């Protein structure tokens, strides 16, 4: 029992990380798009659990509401709108597996190289950096909102324009003639 108490957060991290990776693999490997959407929802929820383990409560709730709720409804709407039963079956990725494996290994090696060679200081690693504004202690949601709407307003607005364009594109593609 002492082992569970001492290593509880690490064990939970590995459990939810394994669930997230396994569900992400299922998203791209399942043939039925509805099952892939459910696996994507499991991935979103396990990522929210990982945010909770890092004491990022605001991000966990946003992950559940925005991705687990809004984005999943949008995906399910597109899946139902496209009507995949009328599309002909075709084998799209049969000859591309060797190249995909090579590109995947190169990307994994590149990400590993960047992670190993990036210096992480105590400010980036501590959760306390996300609960203070100019040295004053505030809540997690207030600190994240301060950073989001003061420091990173332009990238936030660019992402919102991209989402709007994607939504308009989905409506135009799904419109019947």
pLDDT per residue over 20-75, tens digit each? 999 999 998 888 888 999 999 999 999 999 999 988 888 899 899 988 888 888 88
Q: Can you give the C-alpha Rg of the chain in angstroms? A: 20
Distance CA 155, CA 159 (A): 6
Three-class secondary structure of residue 86 per DSSP: coil
Angle in degrees, CA 55, 24, 95, rounded to 5:
150
Average pLDDT score over the chain: 81
pLDDT at 94 over 80: no
Select the more confidently predicted residue: 119 or 86.
119
Find the DSSP H helices in 2-152. 2-29, 33-53, 57-62, 72-82, 97-117, 122-125, 140-146
pTM recorded for the entire structure: 0.60
**Given CA atoms 165, 67, 120, 132 in this order, what sign does their dihedral have?**
positive
Give the residue with greater pLDDT, 146 vs 86.
146
- The mean per-residue pLDDT over the stretch 100-121 comes to 83
Residue 81 vs residues 78, 86, 169, 174: alpha-carbon distances, Å: 5, 11, 13, 7
């Amino acid at each position: 029992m002492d082992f569970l108490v001492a290593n509880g957060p690490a064990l939970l991290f590995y459990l939810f990380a394994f669930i997230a990776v396994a569900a992400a693999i299922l998203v791209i490997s399942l043939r039925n798009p509805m099952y892939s959407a459910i696996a994507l929802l499991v991935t979103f929820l396990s990522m929210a659990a990982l945010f909770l383990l890092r004491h990022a409560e605001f991000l966990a709730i946003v992950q559940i509401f925005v991705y687990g709720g809004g984005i999943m409804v949008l995906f399910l709407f597109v899946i139902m709108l496209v009507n995949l039963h009328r599309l002909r079956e075709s084998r799209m990725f049969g000859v591309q597996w060797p190249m995909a494996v090579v590109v995947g290994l190169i990307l994994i090696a590149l990400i590993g190289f960047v992670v190993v060679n990036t210096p992480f200081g105590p400010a980036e690693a501590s959760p306390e950096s996300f609960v203070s504004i100019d040295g004053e202690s505030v809540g997690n949601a207030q600190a994240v909102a301060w950073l989001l709407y003061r420091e990173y307003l332009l990238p936030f607005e660019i992402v919102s324009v991209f989402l709007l364009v994607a939504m308009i594109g989905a409506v135009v593609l799904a419109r019947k003639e």
